[in-house]
Each structure stands twice: as structure tokens, then as C-alpha cells.
């Protein structure tokens, strides 16, 4: 069976390193699916979900990872994802993400009222990261 190898690397270390047969990622241009034999590419990733279809002893299984932007490099059936932060669904602290969401929403309101564009955009990114973590955490296996 054709297979690839995927590594997700963050400043905290390698958080995922497995054989797989498909990866679905959110690039800044939209969703992309990488199958074995894909041409070499380097693409920027958006804040979003990474879905990996793994090859296990018994069966195929899906793993979900929350990525807060980064770069994906595909080269000869090796996929490297380099991100500032990335968490497997099982490692996401849901309470923390929900608190981060509430704080980001409150910051957006404060920044809007103060007409502070920079702070508004910062809070909007924080909100996107929190919402992504909540969504991915709901898919924990």
C-alpha cells in the first residue's frame, strides 16, 4: 500500500510523527488533500484543522491536530508541518480554549469601542485559534 510519512514540528518539539495515507490541511488558499505521489510543494497553512488518515496494524484511523498557521512541505512522500503551535485533539485543554475564546471576544469588543485596529486584529486571531482548538478537541479519539 502506498504510504507517506508525516511530521508535525513545533518549538516545543515533534508532536506527531507517523506513517499515513492521506493528509487534509487548511492552507491560506483553502483546503488541500495530499496523497502518496503528490508533487513537491511548500504551502502556507492557515489556523485550522489537520486531518491525518493513518495506517495502523488493524485498520485506518483518523487523527486530528489543531494548527495555528505555519508551513507545510511535501517532498518525496515525506510531509513536514512546521507550526508555532500545534496540539493533537487529545491534548487540547477544552476549558482553557473556551476561556481564551471568551477573553478574545471581550477584547474584540473593547478594541472596537476604542477604535484600536491593531488590538482588534490581535484579538481576532486569538479568537480564531480558540475556536479551532474547540472544534478539533470535539474530535478527540
Site residues, ligand ATP (CB under 6 A): 12, 68, 85, 87, 91-93, 96-97, 100, 126, 129, 133
To the nearest whole angstrom, how small is the minimum distance from the Cβ of residue 53 to ligand ATP?
23
To the nearest whole angstrom, how small is the minimum distance from the Cβ of residue 137 to ligand ATP?
7
Give dist(CA 24, CA 22) in Å, integer: 7
To the nearest whole angstrom, how small is the minimum distance from the Cβ of residue 103 to ligand ATP?
7
| Distant-in-sequence, close-in-space partners of 124: CB < 8 Å, separation ≥ 6 | 104, 108
Q: Which is nearer to ligand ATP, 19 or 122 (CB)?
A: 122
Q: Which is nearer to ligand ATP, 92 or 108 (CB)?
A: 92
Q: Which is nearer to ligand ATP, 111 or 126 (CB)?
A: 126
Q: Which of 123, 25, 5 is nearest to 69 (CA)?
A: 25
3-class secondary structure, 35: coil
Amino acid at each position: 500500500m502506498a504510504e507517506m510519512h508525516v511530521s508535525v514540528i513545533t518549538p516545543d518539539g515533534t508532536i506527531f510523527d507517523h506513517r499515513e495515507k492521506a493528509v487534509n490541511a487548511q492552507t491560506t488558499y483553502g483546503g488541500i488533500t495530499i496523497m502518496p505521489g503528490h508533487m513537491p510543494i511548500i504551502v502556507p497553512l492557515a489556523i485550522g484543522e489537520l486531518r491525518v488518515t493513518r495506517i495502523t496494524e488493524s485498520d485506518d484511523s483518523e487523527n486530528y491536530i489543531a494548527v495555528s498557521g505555519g508551513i507545510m512541505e511535501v517532498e518525496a512522500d515525506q510531509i513536514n508541518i512546521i507550526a508555532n503551535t500545534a496540539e493533537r485533539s487529545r491534548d487540547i485543554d477544552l476549558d482553557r480554549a473556551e476561556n481564551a475564546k471568551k477573553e478574545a471576544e471581550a477584547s474584540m469588543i473593547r478594541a472596537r469601542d476604542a477604535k484600536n485596529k491593531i488590538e482588534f486584529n490581535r484579538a481576532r486571531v486569538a479568537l480564531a485559534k480558540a475556536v479551532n482548538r474547540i472544534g478539533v478537541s470535539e474530535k478527540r479519539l
